């Protein structure tokens, strides 16, 4: 069924605040999966509702491994967002992807460790497809919006997600290039996995800040490099969101991702843990209520 757009924006390093919102409200939203990174800020750009959540918290207080990714996605689902646009700092593993460029990511290699990566714990098992982990429609719209805002944009790229908070060794950086990675970061996983389980179309627009540590004869990436480039590109990122609001179709056609949980539940209804079922109300209530 067609309906209005409501875009959730998860902002990464250097994008902690979000302006240009009419009817702006900051709202704390509780999650059954613990504390999210902070309150959401919601409002209108034109006729489109946007809800913004800073991934690292206000002032960047939460390191990548300590982000409660489940709570963040659960909160956006509770806010009734229809789609999620993640904006992140990334390193480049490819000569053509220069610092200052934007990349619309379409694949991931997950090298993170120990982060809760599913809403479906023991008691309710589910298996969603993640072959194509980003939403082609939203990714294309976001890439076009970034270009319209003045960014140099690359459509498509494989993101290697590492645990951090340290940057890669030179050997690791070269290995990730050999894997087929194009860019590298610390936060897209399990964020993208969880968005799919929550039936939220997800796009990731990465802002290249550095060349990681694979280039011979050059110093490796430093946090100073990353934050300097992010600060320079923050206005481009905000401009991208404004252009996205302008370019969205008047109404939102359904996406196949809206029903990603259809057929994914493996646990028989009589065997499902009632405590976990209660926690899953926002994320999976559509299918849990129907089975």
- pLDDT tens-digit profile of 67-113? 999 999 999 999 999 999 999 999 999 999 999 999 999 999 999 99
Q: Which residues constitute the domain of residue 138?
A: 84-288
Query: Which of the following is catalytic: 121, 210, 258, 273?
Result: 210
Is residue 248 situated within a structural domain? yes
Q: Is 83 a catalytic residue?
A: no
Phi, psi of 220 (to 5 degrees): -75, 170
Is residue 47 situated within a structural domain? no
Q: Are 127 and 191 in contact (CB under 8 A)?
A: no
Rounded to the nearest angstrom, the gap between the alpha carbon of residue 143 and the centroid of all alpha carbons in its chain is 15
pLDDT at 291 over 60: no
Is residue 115 situated within a structural domain? yes
Q: What is the DSSP letter of 34?
A: B
Query: Which of the following is catalytic: 212, 225, 262, 273?
Result: 212
Q: Is residue 19 very low, low, confident or very high in pLDDT (cuts 50, 70, 90)?
A: low
Q: How many domains does the chain have?
A: 1
Alpha-carbon span 228 to 230, nearest angstrom: 5
pLDDT, greater one: 207 or 234 = 207
CATH number of domain containing 136: 3.40.50.1580
Is residue 243 situated within a structural domain? yes
pLDDT of residue 15: 58
pLDDT at 11 over 80: yes
Q: Are 117 and 235 in contact (CB under 8 A)?
A: no
**What is the value of pTM for the model shown?**
0.94
Which string of DSSP letters, residue by residue, matches 187-246?
SHHHHHHHHHHTT--EEEEEEEEE-TT-STTSPPP-HHHHHHHHHHHHHHHHHHHHHHHH
pLDDT at 208 over 90: yes
Alpha-carbon span 246 to 244, nearest angstrom: 5
Alpha-carbon span 266 to 246, nearest angstrom: 41
Which string of DSSP letters, residue by residue, matches 116-185?
---S--TTS-B----SS-S-HHHHHHHHHHHHHTT--EEE--EEEEE--SSPPPHHHHHHHHHHT-SEEE
Q: Is 212 a catalytic residue?
A: yes
pLDDT, greater one: 223 or 14 = 223
111-156 tens-digit pLDDT: 999 999 999 988 999 999 999 999 999 999 999 999 999 999 999 9
In DSSP terms, 25 is beta-bridged to 42
**Which residues neighbour 260 within 8 Å (Cβ) at sequence distance 6 or greater?**
128, 129, 196, 197, 199
């Amino acid at each position: 069924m067609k309906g209005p757009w409501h875009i959730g924006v998860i902002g990464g390093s250097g994008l902690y605040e979000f302006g240009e919102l009419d009817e702006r409200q900051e709202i704390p939203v509780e999650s059954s999966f613990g504390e999210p990174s902070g309150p959401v800020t919601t409002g209108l750009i034109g006729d489109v509702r946007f809800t913004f959540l800073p991934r690292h918290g206000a002032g960047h207080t939460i390191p990548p491994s300590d982000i409660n990714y489940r709570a963040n996605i659960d909160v956006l689902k509770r806010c009734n967002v229809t789609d999620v646009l993640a904006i992140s700092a990334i390193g480049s593993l490819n000569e053509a992807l220069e610092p200052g460029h934007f990349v619309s990511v379409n694949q991931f290699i997950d090298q993170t460790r120990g982060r809760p990566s599913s809403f479906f714990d023991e008691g309710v098992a589910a298996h969603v497809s993640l072959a194509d982990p980003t939403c082609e429609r939203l990714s294309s719209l976001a890439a076009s919006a970034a270009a319209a805002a003045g960014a140099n944009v690359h459509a498509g790229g494989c993101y290697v997600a590492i645990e951090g908070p340290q940057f890669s060794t030179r050997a690791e950086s070269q290995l990730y290039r050999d894997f087929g990675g194009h860019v590298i970061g610390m936060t897209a996983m399990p964020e993208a996995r969880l968005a799919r389980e929550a039936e939220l179309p997800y796009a990731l627009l990465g802002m290249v800040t550095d060349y990681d540590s694979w280039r011979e004869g050059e110093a490796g990436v430093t946090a100073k490099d990353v934050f300097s480039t992010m600060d320079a590109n923050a206005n481009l990122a905000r401009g991208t969101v404004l252009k996205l609001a302008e370019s969205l179709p008047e109404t939102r056609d359904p996406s196949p991702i809206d029903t990603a949980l259809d057929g994914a539940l493996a646990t028989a209804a009589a065997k499902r843990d009632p405590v976990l079922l209660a926690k899953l109300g926002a994320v999976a209530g559509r299918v849990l209520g129907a089975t």
